[in-house]
Structure 1
């Protein structure tokens, strides 16, 4: 298993390099000029100096290699310096955001905690709700619970976040007044009162993001459980006198989790796509809103970096899913 994991990590390097090249070239070919928002009163020579300061006067391949060098070399060195108090990255040139006139990764690090609070919590909540629903729906197939679960999951699939987000604001914030409609990103958790405020303002965005996660994973869990409940090994386990709990929750569940692991692992990057819309609705000052403002301002370094980070998540969680296959199914031996 260790050999397979190392091999997959090594093979992911050329994959990520190719993805980064495609992202960079596609955005370079996109129309627009970062100097378009500069006032017309600014003299042409000042605009030209601004372009040179942002690195726009350099060839495309030079800017690409500088961007990759910053992502894979400079930023890890800065993190190493921060942890161990060294100065390996001192004097290194960093890629600047055209919109904020500051290093791209510094802006991303400032916004990342807000997104992780919402996205991570919504995904955990969605999984914890979806797995029991899928298991019990399959075990009690065509029961009232199964029919209700099917209806709710179909609603979760059908309703987009931009509609469900506005709907929960109207119900829980405007009509009932229970929850705040705007996410206060300046709130710092220092005592019990601020902790309660943080939880209350997270309820609605987490609810909206967790709805689609719950709908998707519960349907996969139900289908996978139904495929395994009628297998020969289940009848054999029951014939041996094992309890129904041991049959379902040990034997059937472990085999049923193999395809579900793929959905869970690969769903992590895609939930950030939903977070882009949700952050706009609830005014969460996170990576989603940062990406939208960067696109509007034609801030190519910021858009390239955020997009590439999502690609890194997709490749990484593909590897995690493959490794978990071997953990869940003893018949799978990669080495």
Structure 2
């Protein structure tokens, strides 16, 4: 297992380098200019000096190399300095956002708690709801519970999140006044009242995303359980006198989780990418909204960093999913 994990991590390095090069070149060749938003009264020589200050006057391969060095070396050193009070990266230049003129990673770390609070929690809630629903729906196939769960899952998967979000706002904010319609990102949780307020403003966005995530995962869980419930090893386990609970929750569930683990693991990067539409509806200043505003402002350093972080998370959780295969299914060996 350790050898396999080491090989996968070693293979991930050239993969990430290739992904970073593709992202950099796609954004490099994309139309748009960060100087286009400047007033027309700005003289051309001032524009040229501003382009040089942003590093736009250097060759493409030089800027790509500097960006890699800043992302993989300078930014981790700055995080170490902030955590332990060292001075390893005191003289190193960081990746600066063209839009805010602030370090990119500082802005990302400021937005990250909002994404984790709302989108991250909704994903956890969605998984916790989806797994038992999928298991019981498969075990009680064609029952009333299965048909009701199938209907709700199809509705949750088919209806767009922006429609569900607006519908909840109209019912629970406008009509009933139970929950706030706008997420207050400036709220500081330092008392019981502020904690309750934080929970109230999280209810609707978390519910919208949890319903969408649960609808997808529960369908995968149900289909995987149905495939395994009729296998020969299940009949053998029952013939040996094992209880139905042991057969379903130990033998069948363990093998059924293999494809579901892939779905869950690859869905985790979406948490950090943010549910862009839902964040726009409820005004959550997460990473998804940050990516949209950066694209609109032609802020290439921010867009490059965010897209590469999402790609990095996908590669990492792919490795985690492969490792979990061996833990869930003893038939899988990595020797």
Alpha-carbon shift at residue 272 of structure 1 (Å): 4.7
Alpha-carbon shift at residue 90 of structure 1 (Å): 1.0
Alpha-carbon shift at residue 43 of structure 1 (Å): 2.1
Equivalent residue, structure 2, for 1:114: 114
2: distance between equivalents of 1:306 and 1:183?
Answer: 22
Superimposed CA distance per residue, residues 201-258 of structure 1 (whole angstroms, 9 cap, x where no aligned partner): 1111111111221011100100111111111211122222221111111111111111
* Unaligned segments of structure 1, at least 5 residues: none
Alpha-carbon shift at residue 273 of structure 1 (Å): 5.1
* Unaligned segments of structure 2, at least 5 residues: none
2: distance between equivalents of 1:150 and 1:76?
Answer: 46
Equivalent residue, structure 1, for 2:194: 194
Whether the aligned pair in 1 keeps the contact of 2:116 and 2:271 (CA below 8 Å) is no
Equivalent residue, structure 2, for 1:97: 97
Q: Does 1:135 align with 2:135?
A: yes
Whether the aligned pair in 1 keeps the contact of 2:274 and 2:287 (CA below 8 Å) is no
Whether the aligned pair in 1 keeps the contact of 2:273 and 2:310 (CA below 8 Å) is no
Equivalent residue, structure 1, for 2:259: 259
Q: How many corresponding residue pairs?
A: 335
1: distance between equivalents of 2:204 and 2:273?
Answer: 17
Alpha-carbon shift at residue 146 of structure 1 (Å): 0.3
Equivalent residue, structure 1, for 2:165: 165
Q: Secondary structure at the match of 2:99?
A: coil
Alpha-carbon shift at residue 270 of structure 1 (Å): 3.0
2: distance between equivalents of 1:153 and 1:296?
Answer: 34
Equivalent residue, structure 1, for 2:244: 244
Alpha-carbon shift at residue 49 of structure 1 (Å): 1.6
Equivalent residue, structure 2, for 1:144: 144
Whether the aligned pair in 2 keeps the contact of 1:166 and 1:281 (CA below 8 Å) is yes
Equivalent residue, structure 2, for 1:18: 18
Whether the aligned pair in 1 keeps the contact of 2:291 and 2:303 (CA below 8 Å) is yes
Equivalent residue, structure 2, for 1:183: 183
1: distance between equivalents of 2:296 and 2:21?
Answer: 22
Deviates more, 1:293-302 or 1:82-91: 82-91
TM-score w.r.t. the length of structure 1 is 0.97
- Cα distance 1:273–1:105, how it changes in 2: closer, same or farther (>3 A)? closer
Equivalent residue, structure 2, for 1:154: 154
1: distance between equivalents of 2:57 and 2:294?
Answer: 20
Superimposed CA distance per residue, residues 240-285 of structure 1 (whole angstroms, 9 cap, x where no aligned partner): 2221111111111111111110110011123455611111111111
Q: Does 1:71 align with 2:66?
A: no
Equivalent residue, structure 1, for 2:328: 328
Alpha-carbon shift at residue 53 of structure 1 (Å): 1.2
Equivalent residue, structure 2, for 1:287: 287
Equivalent residue, structure 1, for 2:38: 38
Whether the aligned pair in 2 keeps the contact of 1:225 and 1:256 (CA below 8 Å) is yes
Whether the aligned pair in 2 keeps the contact of 1:74 and 1:92 (CA below 8 Å) is yes
Alpha-carbon shift at residue 85 of structure 1 (Å): 2.0
Superimposed CA distance per residue, residues 160-206 of structure 1 (whole angstroms, 9 cap, x where no aligned partner): 11221111111111111111110000001101111111111111111
Q: Does 1:87 align with 2:87?
A: yes
Q: Does 1:217 align with 2:245?
A: no
Alignment of 1:312-327 (within 5 A): 312-327=312-327
